[in-house]
């Protein structure tokens, strides 16, 4: 068996979860990076015998719109697919059901789905240590259960249930990182931006109409010059702290 990772992970949390899953399978794999703005995803065809891990972070209860646009270009050829939604310990709302619909559009046969917790990309004081050792054990156990399903003699491996609603919840507004006076204008943030929202000639500026609030520029800045408006961040934390503070378990759907 060969595996293909299709991953949107601007800050690395989703990739950590996917790597734990892939290592537990211990099979050869290739990675399709959905954050790459220059790749023509319509040229990528998945072998029908592959196992696909399709993974995205939850953005305000939805699949990131930019990731969705790139996912549907891929030719899945009815390969078996495991969905992975990674969220920052609040809730993942309609992310999994939307990801299921996107997988169907590119002809992937969804046989399982996972919701897993990782460090919140904006409110970084929440789920700071996750995925931790317990999460790793959960994910490894999920792999064993999914593999058992693959090894069974069930003729239809399609998933039976996923949480979420159609129509999906309305996408929330983003929070655009701001560059401070310590910005070196080195252009590293512009070169790494999945949405190409930062002009390489003026890297201390961000186009708010293109920014997807992924926070990659914040974590990649070599001098920590980029951040979210502290008042906006404090208001967001106040709104969600009740829901985000309690421990959330990882979930598997087969």
- CATH number for the domain that contains residue 213: 3.30.70.20
What is the span of the domain harbouring residue 208? 178-227
Any idea which residue has 């789920």 for tokens? 127
Residues 47 and 150 in one domain: yes
Residues 133 and 155 in one domain: yes
Residues 200 and 88 in one domain: no
Q: Is residue 221 part of a domain?
A: yes
* C-alpha angle 74-111-154 in degrees, rounded to nearest 5: 135
pLDDT of residue 154: 87
Residues 184 and 157 in one domain: no
Structure tokens, 41:
């995803």
Strands 29-33 vs 51-57: parallel, antiparallel or unpaired: unpaired
Q: Report d(CA 222, CA 188) in Å as an integer.
A: 8
Residues 116 and 204 in one domain: no
Q: Is residue 242 part of a domain?
A: no
pLDDT of residue 173: 76
Closest CA to 106 of 139, 136, 140, 83: 83
Which residues of the chain carry a pLDDT beneath 50?
A: none
Q: Report d(CA 25, CA 76) in Å as an integer.
A: 20
**What is the maximal distance between C-alpha atoms in the chain?**
62
Which phi and psi (to 5°) does residue 163 adopt? -75, 155
Domain count, the chain: 2
pTM: 0.96
pLDDT of residue 1: 84
Q: Is residue 200 part of a domain?
A: yes
- Please tell me whether residue 243 adopts helix, strand or coil conformation: helix
pLDDT of residue 95: 98
Q: Which residues contact 129 (CB under 8 A, 6 or more apart)?
A: 119
Q: Is residue 38 part of a domain?
A: yes
- DSSP string covering 184-219: ----HHHHH-TT--S-TTSTT---TTT-----HHHH
pLDDT of residue 174: 81
Any idea which residue has 């709104």 for tokens? 239
User: What CATH code is carried by the domain that includes residue 99?
Assistant: 3.40.50.360
Contact 57, 87 (CB under 8 A): yes
pLDDT of residue 194: 97
DSSP 62: B
pLDDT of residue 241: 84
Task: Give the CA-trace dihedral at 237, 198, 13, 94, to 10 degrees.
Answer: 60
Closest CA to 106 of 210, 181, 34: 34
Examine the fold and report which residue of 167, 197, 215 is the final residue of a domain before the chain moves on: 167
């Amino acid at each position: 068996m060969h595996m293909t990772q299709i991953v949107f992970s601007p800050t690395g949390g989703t990739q950590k979860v996917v790597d734990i899953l892939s290592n537990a399978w211990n099979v050869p794999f290739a990675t399709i990076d959905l954050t790459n703005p220059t790749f023509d995803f319509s040229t990528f065809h998945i072998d029908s015998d592959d196992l696909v891990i399709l993974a995205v972070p939850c953005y305000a209860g939805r699949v990131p719109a930019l990731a969705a646009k790139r996912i549907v270009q891929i030719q899945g050829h009815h390969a078996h697919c495991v969905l992975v939604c990674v969220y920052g310990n609040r809730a993942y709302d309609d992310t999994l059901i939307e990801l299921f619909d996107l997988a169907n559009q590119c002809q992937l046969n969804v046989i399982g789905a996972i919701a897993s917790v990782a460090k919140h990309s904006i409110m970084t004081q929440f789920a700071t240590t996750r995925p931790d050792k317990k999460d790793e054990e959960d994910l490894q156990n999920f792999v064993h259960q999914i593999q058992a399903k693959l090894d069974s003699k069930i003729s239809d491996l399609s998933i039976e249930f996923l949480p979420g609603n159609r129509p999906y919840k309305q996408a929330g507004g983003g929070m655009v990182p701001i560059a401070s006076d310590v910005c070196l204008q080195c252009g590293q943030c512009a070169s790494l931006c999945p949405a190409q929202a930062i002009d390489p000639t003026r890297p201390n500026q961000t186009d708010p109409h293109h920014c997807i609030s992924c926070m990659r520029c914040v974590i990649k800045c070599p001098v920590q010059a980029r951040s979210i408006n502290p008042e906006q961040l404090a208001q967001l934390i106040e709104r969600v702290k009740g829901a985000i503070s309690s421990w959330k378990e990882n979930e598997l759907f087969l």
